[in-house]
């Protein structure tokens, strides 16, 4: 089987694409790459369209290298990757809806993001005695994002769940076309509200790679602080919310308090609870002062004081463990096949973390562990979050101790270029692909949320569980609807 | 667990923590809200939230209203699961084409009298998504809006203030 390097050699390298190489390939090499991914030697990181071109980002886990392959399709058709490698199927359906490019022999001909067709959506069937269906969504009982779930159940047991997404499609990638960098950064931050910093960072890093800019060291550390605050807030919120879905409201209440304290500290340091409009291409828009550092110091001390008791409470409550242990098991083989990122992958044996695997500053100078488990159940996904809260606290302390002095912004020039960037959000790896023109306008910006490779796995993890455990499993995945639908 | 329950009984609630400017504001707000809600709705207002294309940031801040700092239920304001139980429809997002029908159906399922509150900049006029062919560009394009709470996202206290304003207008 060929390596990523071999595949790249088959193609024609494209100049001015940073930091990973990009190669124009023919249909045969395209299919060879798909087969190599299907074989498990490469991980599919993304698949997106452009004007009459399809691009595919691939990661070679062993070599630690990544690349983008591009295939011209002047007749608007390209060989389906999903035919060989199922994780690509939804990406190809979206690509067909958005760009009118046809993945030839894609196993699923149905639309995905485009809901405009008048006919009812043909859900997959499940046949057998005493099966019935439950339709849920897009408007849910709680305060959550919209999506539709079609359950086929036998009594209490789920036989099949099928997701239907696309309800929050806002046309972000189309709005990106022709936008100036400032507007692009604003849009990127609003892809998924809980990952504001992750998207702002991924976009900024893509711009900086395309323009070959290096933000000042202080800005890199402040970005790190923002990213870890975001991770803390989300993980604390999730740990509580998962327990709440198992009807253990006490954890929810206490974790909610800690989450609120993180958001207030973020507001105190950067002027916005979710740190919106704080991180920009070239650096950060807001510096942190001594008062801000004192707030962070107090926050870390506070969480360190209160969190261990909550972890003990989680671990010692048998009725709660009864719900989370062995529920919604995601098999490691599936996590690996789909390249599942974040706590979903790490709870199922895929110890991938962009901060470590494709280390970017400031993480290349910091000490931290990438926790990983193999059980793959709801409990494992909770424990990964617990361990990551501890790691984030330590990272915040390290960054505060080493925070360099100096400016926080570097001037952003304009010139054409192409780039790709990947950062670790709280949910997993966020990928951004960017092409800029001479005036510094965005020609094309593709944003790929980690949820693309996590949503399909939720369908697999819920099989054989009871209907009442679906909210629990769903919350333990906590996939993004907005990030997925764009 | 016993320890946590005992602490809950013996420690003062967070909502009455030592006063800071923000907490004082919250206390004053609570008093006004209680008077208004009691007079007009018998101390209860049921809210149904619908995400019509938000990035989820507004939902996070609406969620925060339920935490111990804001504890929205002490004012008689509560989130309900069905539009049939709701007085207020709290809508976020620029109203995507794909959510428009679901939003209209939710509105139509609510009994009268009913009010609509649009939360966030994009619910107001589409925000940074205005001009996209995939969105209507604001909640008012789909259902009649009684009040808009701007912000991206509005912090919990602003949402609470907005709801108070609505109660005073009723």
**pLDDT by residue for chain A (486 residues), tens digit each?**
788 888 888 889 998 888 999 999 999 999 999 999 999 999 999 999 988 999 999 999 888 889 999 999 999 999 999 999 999 999 999 999 999 999 999 999 999 999 988 788 999 988 888 999 999 989 988 899 999 999 999 999 999 999 999 999 999 999 999 999 999 999 999 999 999 999 999 999 999 999 999 999 999 999 999 999 999 999 999 999 999 999 999 999 999 999 999 999 999 999 999 999 999 999 999 999 999 999 999 999 999 999 999 999 999 999 999 999 999 999 999 999 999 999 999 999 999 999 998 889 999 999 999 999 999 999 999 999 999 999 999 999 999 999 999 999 998 888 899 999 999 999 999 999 999 998 889 999 999 999 999 999 999 999 999 999 999 999 999 999 999 999
Q: Measuring CA to CA, how many Å separate A120 from each of A22, A188, A407, B13, B100?
A: 40, 32, 56, 51, 16
Check CB contact of A268 with chain B, cutoff 8 Å.
no
Contact A450, A87 (CB under 8 A): no
Which B positions 115-144 lie with beta carbon below 8 A of chain A? 122, 127-129, 131-135
Q: Indicate which of A170, A173, A186, A257 best probes the interface with B, i.e. most B CBs within 10 Å of its own CB.
A: A170
* Among candidates A145, A169, A187 on the partner chain, residue whose Cβ is nearest the Cβ of B56: A145
The single residue listed with the structure tokens 């950064």 is A185
Q: Is the peptide bond before A138 cis (omega within 30 degrees of 0)?
A: yes
* Pick from A145, A174, A196: CB nearest B132: A174
Q: How far is CA A240 from CA A264, A382, A480, in A?
A: 18, 10, 18
A357's tokens: 């695997």
Buried b (16+ CB within 10 A) or exposed e, A236-258: bbbbbbbbbbbebebbbbbbbbb
**In A, which residues are within 8 Å of B58 by CB distance?**
193
Distance in Å from the first CA to the final CA of chain B: 44
CATH numbers and ranges of domains, chain A? 10-104 (3.30.460.80), 172-485 (1.10.645.10)
CA within 13 Å, CB half, A214: 4
**Among chain A residues, CA nearest to B136:** A170
Mutate to test the interface with B, among A120, A174, A190 (most CBs of B within 10 A): A190
Query: How far is residue B145 from each of residues B90, B91, B158, measured CA to CA in Å?
Result: 10, 9, 17
Q: How far apart are CA A253 and CA A237, in angstroms?
A: 10
Residue A29, φ and ψ in degrees, nearest 5: -65, -40
Quote the pTM value: 0.93
3-state SS class at A81: coil
Q: ipTM score of the complex?
A: 0.92
Contact A280, A409 (CB under 8 A): yes
Calpha distance B76→B87 (Å, rounded) = 12
Closest to B29 in 3D by CA, of B167, B169, B170: B167
Collect all residues with Cβ–Cβ distance below 8 Å to B6 and sequence separation of at least 6: none
Tell me the CB-side half-sphere exposure of residue A367, using CA atoms within 13 A: 5
For residues A323 and A469, the answer to whether their CB atoms sit within 8 Å is yes
A138 touches chain B (CB under 8 A): yes
């Amino acid at each position: 089987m060929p390596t990523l390097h071999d595949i790249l050699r088959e193609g024609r390298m494209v100049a001015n694409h940073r930091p990973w190489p990009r190669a124009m390939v023919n249909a045969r090499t395209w299919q060879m790459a798909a087969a190599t991914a299907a074989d498990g030697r490469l991980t599919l990181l993304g698949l997106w369209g452009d004007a009459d071109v399809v691009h595919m980002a691939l990661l070679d886990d062993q070599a630690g290298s990544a690349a983008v392959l591009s295939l011209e399709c002047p007749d608007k058709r390209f060989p389906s990757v999903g035919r060989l490698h199922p994780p690509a199927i939804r990406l190809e359906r979206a690509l067909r809806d958005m760009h009118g490019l046809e993945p030839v022999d894609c196993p699923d001909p149905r639309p995905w993001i485009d809901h405009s067709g008048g006919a009812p959506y043909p859900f997959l069937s499940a046949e057998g005695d005493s099966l019935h269906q439950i339709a849920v969504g897009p408007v849910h009982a709680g305060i959550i994002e919209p999506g539709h779930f079609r359950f086929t159940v036998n009594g209490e047991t789920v036989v099949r769940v099928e997701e239907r997404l696309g309800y929050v499609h806002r046309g972000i990638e189309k709005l990106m076309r022709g936008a100036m960098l400032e507007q692009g950064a604003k849009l990127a931050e609003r892809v998924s509200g809980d990952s504001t910093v992750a998207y702002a960072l991924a976009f900024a890093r893509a711009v900086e790679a395309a323009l070959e800019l290096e933000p000042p060291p202080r800005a890199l550390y402040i970005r790190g602080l923002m990213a870890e605050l975001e991770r803390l807030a989300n993980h604390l919120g999730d740990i509580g919310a998962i327990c709440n879905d198992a009807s253990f409201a006490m954890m929810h209440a206490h974790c909610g308090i800690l989450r609120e304290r993180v958001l207030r500290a973020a507001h105190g340091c950067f002027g916005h609870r979710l740190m919106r409009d704080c991180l920009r291409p070239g650096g950060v828009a807001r510096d942190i002062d001594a008062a801000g550092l004192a707030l962070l110091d107090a926050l870390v001390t506070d969480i360190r004081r209160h969190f261990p008791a909550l972890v003990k409470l989680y671990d010692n409550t048998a009725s709660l463990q009864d719900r989370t242990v062995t529920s919604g098991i995601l098999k490691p083989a599936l996590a690996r096949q789909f390249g599942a990122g974040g706590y979903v992958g790490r709870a199922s044996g895929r110890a991938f973390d962009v901060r470590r695997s494709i280390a970017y500053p400031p993480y290349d100078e910091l000490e931290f562990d990438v926790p990983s488990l193999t059980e793959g159940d709801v409990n494992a996904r909770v424990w990964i979050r617990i361990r990551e809260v501890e790691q984030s606290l330590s990272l915040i302390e390290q960054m505060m101790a080493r925070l360099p002095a100096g400016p926080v912004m570097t001037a952003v020039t304009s010139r054409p270029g192409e780039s790709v960037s990947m950062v670790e959000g709280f949910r997993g790896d966020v990928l951004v692909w960017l092409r800029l023109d001479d005036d510094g306008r965005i020609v094309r910006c593709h944003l790929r949320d980690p949820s693309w490779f996590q949503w399909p796995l939720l369908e697999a993890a819920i099989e054989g569980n009871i209907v009442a455990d679906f909210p629990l499993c769903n919350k333990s995945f906590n996939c993004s609807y907005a990030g997925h639908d764009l | 667990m016993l320890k946590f329950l005992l602490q809950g009984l013996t420690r003062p609630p967070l909502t009455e923590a030592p006063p800071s400017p923000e907490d004082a504001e919250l206390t004053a707000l609570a008093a006004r809200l209680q008077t208004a809600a009691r007079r007009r709705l018998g101390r209860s207002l049921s809210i149904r939230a619908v995400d019509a294309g938000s990035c989820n940031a507004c939902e996070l801040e609406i969620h925060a209203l339920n935490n111990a700092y804001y504890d929205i239920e002490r004012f008689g304001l509560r989130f309900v699961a069905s539009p049939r139980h709701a007085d207020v429809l709290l809508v976020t997002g620029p109203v995507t084409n794909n959510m428009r029908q679901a939003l209209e159906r939710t509105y139509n399922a609510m009994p009268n009298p009913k009010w609509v509150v649009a939360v966030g900049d994009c619910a107001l006029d589409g925000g940074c998504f205005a001009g996209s062919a995939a969105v209507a560009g604001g909640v008012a394009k789909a259902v009649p809006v009684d009040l808009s709470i701007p912000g991206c996202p509005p912090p919990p206290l602003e949402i609470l203030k907005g709801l108070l304003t609505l109660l005073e207008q009723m």
